[in-house]
Amino acid sequence: MSGILSDKQIQNLELQANAVRISIIEMLVEAGSGHSAGPLGMADIFTALYFHILKHDPKNPDWSERDRVVLSNGHICPVLYATMAHAGYFPVEELETLRKFGSRLQGHPHRDFLPMLETSSGPLGSGLSQAVGMAIADIIDSGKSTTRRIYGLLSDGEQDCGQTWEAGMLAGKNKLNNLICFMDRNHIQIDGRTEDIMPLEPLKAKWEAWNWHVIDIDGHNFSEIIGAVEEAKKVSDKPIMIIAHTIPGKDVSFMENDYRWHGKPPSKEEAVIALQELGAIGEKIKI
């Protein structure tokens, strides 16, 4: 056993996350546009959510008792789409329509096109406000006995947005213990390294100052990811921020930790190499 997970459970989650990464590469090269680094870096977080943590039903996406997932940094939607498809929300084959005319899988999530999404997103900095609003509404509707969790997904780059801080202060003031957020701390944004553009540290102390319970984890360690959520569920008087330290472009050697892959897809030749590194043959990619 490895903490709260068995070795077999960890292995299954790792295999599932690898399948998600393969789908991300296939989607992006087919689309010819999109973001690579963030989706690959967050594949483990999304896999843990949709295959272990969330209370949800892919066959009944409008189930009233479901947990809610709010993606703020909508540009990493390839990982959201890929994980949802592998979880059974829609056919995996539909992933090939990413960013194509008439597709439900827009370049940023659009709820009108894909109703099983909780929100539309894209403008950075707005997602936490949406998640806070849902958390407050759920407490008003259900009382403090609510067992539903609102999961917010944020980037570190969007910590530059003032709206994020306003939402964070409001959540702390209201002691929203039903709000659990993951911050993708990958240290990159579109123009370079976060600490060169707008230094964020000491990041943990900033969120603690607004009355959040903050947990630092390795965003690629399933025991730490799931263990952090279990810890979060025991917190009674604060919202929870899980700062997940991730590697942008994870498991594709020429993308890892390179900010230039923030907002571009692989070429067909690069996709073949990436798929080979991920253990896929890449027969779908025609050069």
pLDDT for residue 13 is more than 80: yes
Strand bridging mode 192-193 / 188-189: antiparallel
The mean pLDDT of 244-265, rounded to a whole number, is 97
Predicted structure pTM score: 0.95
Three-state SS for 215? strand
Residue % of the chain over a pLDDT of 70: 96
Q: Which H helix or E strand runs over 216?
A: strand 213-218
Rounded Cα distance, 106 and 177, in Å: 32
Confidence of residue 270 (pLDDT cuts 50, 70, 90): very high
d(CA 204, CA 72): 19
- Across the range 245-267, mean pLDDT stands at 97
The DSSP bridge pattern shows strands 68-71 and 150-155 to be parallel
Q: Domain spans of the chain?
A: 7-277
pLDDT tens-digit map of 116-148: 999 998 788 899 999 999 999 999 998 766 789
Please state which CATH number belongs to domain 7-277: 3.40.50.970
Per-residue confidence (pLDDT) for residue 144, from 0 to 100: 67
Mean pLDDT of the chain: 94
User: What is the C-alpha separation between 154 and 185, in angstroms, rounded?
Assistant: 9
- Residue 112: the pLDDT is 93
What pLDDT does 2 receive? 46
